[in-house]
Amino acid sequence: MPGELAALVSLLDDDSPTVLAAVTQRLRELADEAAPALRDLAEQGSPKVRGRAREVLANLERREGFSRLARLAETPGPDLEEGAMLLASIHDPAVDPFALRLKLDRLAEGAARTIGDAPQGRPRIERFLKSLHQQEGFQGDEEAFYAFQNNFLDSVLERRRGIPITLILVYMLVGRRIGV
């Protein structure tokens, strides 16, 4: 570990708000270089240092997520699913995009079974909506409409509750998988 990084890491234990703010800022600037040392500290340091290292790492991960989201938004025809996954992972770095895609795939399999051989148009759409609303239980969150969790794909898939825009997102992502 280079000298500056070693010194910065050792100062994560400092109780001075001024020192801690300066150290945190510099570690953010050294993002890629600092991340391995911060990961080690997040697992092996004193409780105070572990917490501070995790805080800096979480901030770095959010910044990287926002950068990826900005790059995605600049592409022609950005991938809606990828954007929703990025937003969820910015909110919760533990979000597993593979697991979310698997949930969407399983919902699509169930919807395809419900749709069966329904003709195109209204009958097909009605069966699709029945699958997600009645059989899978997706609906508006009437108890906590303004809850933060209603904004993120992972939470809506888990709870089967959301606000109209995230419910539409789920319906679109599932529908695309089966041509609805």
155's tokens = 């939470």
- All domains of the chain in start order, with CATH: 3-74 (1.25.10), 80-178 (no CATH)
Could you give the maximum distance between any two Cα atoms of the chain, in Å? Answer: 69
Question: What is the tens place of the pLDDT at every residue in 107-116?
Answer: 999 999 999 9
Taking the C-alpha atoms of residue 180 and residue 167, their distance in angstroms, rounded to an integer, is 15
Which residue type occupies 66? F
- The mean pLDDT value for 31-58 works out to 86
Q: Tokens 């533990």 map to which residue?
A: 94
Query: pLDDT grade, residue 3 (50/70/90)?
Result: confident
Residue 177 C-beta-side C-alpha neighbours within 13 Å? 21
Q: Give tens-digit pLDDT for 77-90.
A: 999 999 999 999 99
Q: Is the pLDDT of residue 40 over 60?
A: yes
Strand ranges inside the chain, DSSP E: 139-140, 161-162
